Amino acid sequence: MSGRDVTGGDVAHASARDRRRARRHGRQRTWPAFWVFVGPFLAGLILFTFLPIVWSAVLSFFDAHNTVTPTRFVGLANYVDMLTNSDFLASLGTFSVFAVFIVPTTVAISLGLALLVHRLRFARAFFRSVFFLPAACSYVVAALIWKLSIFNGVRFGLANTVLGLFDVDQVPWLSSASPPWYWVALVTLRLWLQVGFYMVLFLAGLQRIPGELYEAAYVDGAKPGWQVFRYITLPQLRATTVAVVLLNLIAAYQAFDEFYNLMSSARGYPPFARPPLVYLYFTALGQGQDFGHGSAGAVILALLIGIVTVLQGKLFGFGRRD
């Protein structure tokens, strides 16, 4: 009996060792494949993302004109200059106006489209794809279409052609600062490009709402429509709505392609409608090539995005357990 127990114990230990050895050899065989797939992406991320971020932070403390090599240490002088620069502060004001227009409008339209598509009994996948398709379009291509075909400011442009049917004079959409008609082109372009993407996020949130909640609401006497939407649908979409607002704000801070490609011309960029990235672009890559001040502005913008994101997450309870 004792011999059999010892033999059984030896067999159990041997099989456990064999399993550990097999797992170890399995991990050793998968490591090369892991680095083949992940290595190039990780190297590109370090080389083209992390290193430029670190180097930009370093340059922000130096006087660096026409070179990315630090020359003279100036401490926080670049930051003070940027925070007291009226043009940089005006670019933040441009962003604020853009965000006021774009964030609530995007949330409302994308949520409305998601509700309509979610209620469809047929061709739901078709309409979801149709509304999402503009999100796959290049910002540069879309901006050129808006600039050359729709809001080009001449009587042959689509917008002015439609206005001409109602005997309305031609509108210089992109060249007039007063009234600022350029906001119509900028906001409609961004809406066309991103509403479909956020509609898909809201659709995913709607599909996660249990049907039993609606059944219980109807049993309790809730009326279909506004009551159900206000007390059932909207609270259940709180996390999705907060995520959409956060992503919209971050995207608004990073607005560049539509502004630069819509507003610039052969005469250069106009003195108005300059969001932060456009201003920093001309600061760092313009005639002066002031990489020190440009890097300081980029760090300020990154910190501002982080602070606003954290504050908004705290305000709306993003990530907090229900």
- Report yes or no: 270 and 180 within 8 Å, Cβ to Cβ: no
Q: Is residue 1 part of a domain?
A: no
Question: What predicted TM-score, i.e. pTM, was given to this entire model?
Answer: 0.78
Of 147, 101, 108, 179, which is closest to residue 262 (Cα–Cα)? 147
pLDDT at 22 over 50: yes
- Check which CATH number belongs to the domain holding 141 and give it: 1.10.3720.10
Residue ranges making up the domain that contains 302: 82-316
Of 138, 134, 139, 146, which is closest to residue 182 (Cα–Cα)? 146
List the beta bridge partners of residue 72: 63
Give backbone dihedrals phi and psi of 265, rounded to 5 degrees, phi first.
Answer: -145, -170
**Per-residue pLDDT tens over the stretch 266-290:** 777 887 888 888 888 888 877 778 8
**Cα separation of 168 and 6, whole Å?**
99
Q: Is residue 27 part of a domain?
A: no
List the Cα angle 210/225/236 in 5-degree steps: 35
**Per-residue pLDDT tens over the stretch 37-60:** 888 889 998 998 899 889 889 989
Q: Is residue 146 part of a domain?
A: yes
Q: Is residue 270 part of a domain?
A: yes
Tokens encoding 271: 């003195």
pLDDT at 26 over 60: no
Q: Is residue 239 part of a domain?
A: yes
Q: Is residue 54 part of a domain?
A: no
Tokens encoding 180: 């600022």
How many Å from the N-terminal Cα to the C-terminal Cα in the chain? 59
The DSSP string of 185-242 is HHHHHHHHHHHHHHHHHHHHHHHTS-HHHHHHHHHTTPPTTHHHIIIIIHHHTHHHHH
- Number of structural domains in the chain: 1
Q: Is residue 137 part of a domain?
A: yes
Q: Is residue 267 part of a domain?
A: yes
**Per-residue pLDDT tens over the stretch 132-149:** 999 999 999 999 999 988
